[in-house]
Amino acid sequence: MPDPAAKEPTTPLRLLPWPGPNGTPCYLDSDGSGLLTKVADEMEAAQLRMAGELLGHARVMLDDRKVDAGEPRFLARRLTEALTDVLRVAESRGGRLPAPAGGGAPHVSP
């Protein structure tokens, strides 16, 4: 029997930009105005900035013929981490978008 005190969330759960215990997704049930929401917003902004900076380093490194053998591997690891973060941000933000009229998926231009 359902608990009468239990309530359905009025807003969609937000995927946070950091993993929970054991690397599992971590979600927030909030109206979007709390302290944890602000921390998550700031973390997403920092992750996106870092991804942009790493992309800039990658472009420079690809043009440099005198790159040390270990540098591309190090950069590839950081780029992989950044891409993981960016994908989590995209999933989180996409999950908070309103459903399109007509129930279909939104059209995304290439």
Rounded to whole angstroms, the Cα distance separating 79 from 83 reads 6
Q: Do the Cβ atoms of 46 and 54 come closer than 8 Å?
A: no
pLDDT score at 53:
94
By C-alpha distance, which of 45, 10, 47 is closest to 30? 10
Q: Do the Cβ atoms of 75 and 61 come closer than 8 Å?
A: yes
pLDDT score at 90:
92
Mean pLDDT by 10 residues, the chain (110 residues): 58 88 90 90 94 93 87 92 93 83 58
pLDDT score at 110:
46
Would you call 60 helix, strand, or coil by DSSP?
A: helix
Quick count: other Cβ atoms within 10 Å of Cβ 39? Answer: 14
pLDDT score at 103:
63
Name the pTM for this structure: 0.71
